[in-house]
Structure 1
Amino acid sequence: MSHQLMGLMVLGAIAIIVFLPIFMFRCYHNRFMLYQTRALDVEQTNHATRLFARFRAEVMRQQQSIAVPPPRPNTAEEEAASIVTKVAYRDIKPTKEADSDDCCAICIEGFEEEEICGVVDGCDHCFHKVCIDKWLGIVSRCPLCRCLVRVVSENNNS
């Protein structure tokens, strides 16, 4: 019995001597690899941030280098373009022709007495102020007769 017990103790000691360093190496290796992975993640994030910053700087530099084309000279048609006068609908209603519709050709809605309307001076077509302002922001011609309309700032055309 003592030989068997002694043999088991020696076998256990050999197992501990062999497997304990392997187990400790594995734990250290796993911890080391986890640290390296985290360090790589941080490094990759920093690298991506630096790349994005370089890309953004390059885009900003390109946008600043784009030259604005010089303004082209006005044609005779543009020089003679109509302007839009802002007036209350009640002021233009009596002067409008009897066969004309009482609605805005842009939004197809009727006019109210107290509404401010935009009247194109060249053709006397009438539109809601909001409608004609949006229209002229996109197209510089009258929605009905297609005559050229010059946009005048609010300060000059009260």
Structure 2
Amino acid sequence: MHDASEIARAFFIESEVDYRIAQLLSGTEYHSRTIYFIQQAVEKIVKACLSLKNIRTVDHNLSALFAAVYQENFSNMDDLVRGIDSLERHGARVRFPLFQRPDLPIWIPSRSYTEGDAGRAMRTGEVVYRSLKAYLDQALADPGTAAQPNPPPPTQPPAG
């Protein structure tokens, strides 16, 4: 059986590749693929975090599980969950034409997503990605910290 940190590191590496591809595509006419790759980067970095807790899943909707497992680790958990959830909602919609409802026009992702959609997805994904990357950089450098909550931010001494 592979060590949890090895699995986490593998997901982390692949998330970095997807993140870089999303960055390369951002600002091009490939809006649906920009969204797809930022969603994939976030999904894989979330799976890296879950792997550190010995949680393995093939599920693609991870926001609730991530929140339940890591609630104490991130002061910005509400923002992270909203971001993860918003990217998860794109699901297969960014990759496949949708044609199941004859009363609606065929959804063609590469023609339907806009630059604004891609920009919003990138901004959302970057917030999540950077937060989890900072956590993983620390946790994978010192595996003993993986299960520990992040310390609260330092408080300023009273002005005197």
TM over 0.5: no
Q: Which structure's CA Rg is the greater one? A: 1
Q: More helix per residue: 1 or 2?
A: 2
What interval of TM-score do these two structures reach, taking the shorter chain for normalisation? under 0.3
TM-score (norm 1): 0.25
Q: Which has the higher contact order (CA 8 A, sep 6+)?
A: 2
Q: More strand per residue: 1 or 2?
A: 1
TM-score (norm 2): 0.25
